[in-house]
Structure 1
Amino acid sequence: MSNWYFIDLVGTSIFAISGALSALNKKMYHDLFGISFIGFLTAVGGGTTRDIIMGAHPIFWIRDPNYIIVIMLGVGIAIVGRRWWFNQLRRPLLFFDTLGIGIYTIFGLQKALSLEVNNWAAVLMGLMTALFGGVIRDTLVNDIPLIFEKHVYATACLAGALLYVLGRTLEIDPNVNFLVSAASITLLRLCAIRYNWTLPRIGNQ
């Protein structure tokens, strides 16, 4: 198992934890299927949409059952752990979501580039991979999706994706480029949460 494949599985599990926590935050304690379903869609929604758009078949989680396994593990961790280390669900939800978007923006971007799409389309595919699962999650639990809030969120993903494209153009080592770009997304998002950074408002309303 390669290091990047392992990171991909870990990232999938992180998104599943994020989705399950969101369901638990809505008091879905007795609906195991609902919690699992939201965790599953959060974990694979963005990557599935990306693969469908780019015609990449079979879709990754259909081809490789390990993704289903780590999703179920992530859901189980969220359910079991909520009583002893998830004291406040809002914070861990944001934390796991932030880790996920950092990893998957760059993973999605890399996959798009491997299929020889142009750089701008690859950036959009990276953003879709990272963000669309969260949009599905928030919609299903009747929350406003995070990308529509005023805080820095999608902007962090865009900045990291552009940084990766720049590093690729400058022929920086791919592993270093991945780590720096993904870390920049995570750090920027965490700083936005910590210091309440927001984007400037458009218009007077």
Structure 2
Amino acid sequence: MALVFDLLGVFFFALSGSLLAARRGFDIVGSLLLGSLTGLGGGVVRDIVLGVTPTAFDDPVYLLPPLAAVVVVYFLHGPVRRFRRPILVFDAAGLGLFCTTGAVTALEHGMNPVAAALLGLTTGVGGGLLRDVVANRDPQLFDPGDLYALPAMLGAALITAFWAVGWRGVWLEAAVAALVFALRILSLRFHWHAPHAARTSHPARTEPAPPR
């Protein structure tokens, strides 16, 4: 069952990447690459840091969800775009799942709690960050009007804290993933956001060009 949810998370993350590729006018190869980067990127980065073969390359079944996402966007681009809200819901579910499984994987490989929490966060948000950077747009991770990293950070930190006191198990991980999911959905519903970098915020302005 865990594999099924994991593959669903990869699929919906990949779907967001393929949709962005379609909006940017990429060809179908670009759609596949951007979708794969979004769905698998966070886990690949985590596994490289852990020094193990990335799951996406060790088990070929993980390559099927990005391929399915490309096919869905190619044939159903219009209808899929109209269902943006459900995609955000599934994206939130993937975020909750990946930040918890990422932290657990790091802990199982002997990482200390702080490093494990950071790798859990990386697993949850890494794919979306890579997607936005490659597509040359402002990363959703840094959107001042949205909460994306904080729920994932909280979920990964909770997992490591529970492991530190000896609390482990599938149901506990599911509960933490559900909490991350709920926080993400509530932030979308009520437009929650983190404080700005400076107490007094100013509109962004273009910096003057340096003198020649």
**Cα separation, 2, equivalents of 1:112 and 1:38:** 26
Segments of 5+ residues of structure 2 without an aligned counterpart are: 202-212
Q: Is the 8 A contact 2:12 2:87 kept in 1?
A: no
- Of 20, 23, 26 in structure 1, the residue corresponding to residue 24 of structure 2 is 26
Q: Is the 8 A contact 1:147 1:154 kept in 2?
A: yes
Segments of 5+ residues of structure 1 without an aligned counterpart are: none
Deviation by residue 1:146-179 (Cα, 9 ceiling, x = unmatched) = 1111121101101111222333345445111111
CA RMSD of aligned residues (A): 1.9
- Of 59, 63, 80 in structure 1, the residue corresponding to residue 58 of structure 2 is 63
Cα offset for 1:66? Answer: 0.6
Change (3 A) 1:85 1:37: closer
Q: Is the 8 A contact 1:168 1:174 kept in 2?
A: no
**What TM-score, normalized to structure 2?**
0.85
**Cα separation, 1, equivalents of 2:83 and 2:56:** 31
Q: Is the 8 A contact 2:9 2:91 kept in 1?
A: no
Query: Secondary structure, in 3 states, of the residue corresponding to 1:84?
Result: helix
Same amino acid, percent of matched pairs: 31
State the number of aligned residues. 199
Which runs of structure 1 show a deviation greater than 6 angstroms over 4 or more consecutive aligned residues? none
**Cα separation, 1, equivalents of 2:24 and 2:149:** 24
150-159 vs 92-101, which deviates more? Answer: 92-101
Q: Larger radius of gyration, structure 1 or 2?
A: 2
Q: Is the 8 A contact 1:12 1:44 kept in 2?
A: yes
Cα offset for 1:131? Answer: 0.9
Map residues 95-110 of structure 1 onto 2, 5 A cutoff.
95-110=89-104
**Cα separation, 2, equivalents of 1:135 and 1:126:** 14
**Cα separation, 1, equivalents of 2:86 and 2:29:** 21
Alignment-derived partner of residue 133 in structure 2: 139
Q: Is the 8 A contact 2:113 2:161 kept in 1?
A: no
1:162 paired with 2:173, answer no
**Cα separation, 1, equivalents of 2:195 and 2:136:** 26
**Cα separation, 2, equivalents of 1:169 and 1:53:** 21
Cα offset for 1:8? Answer: 1.8
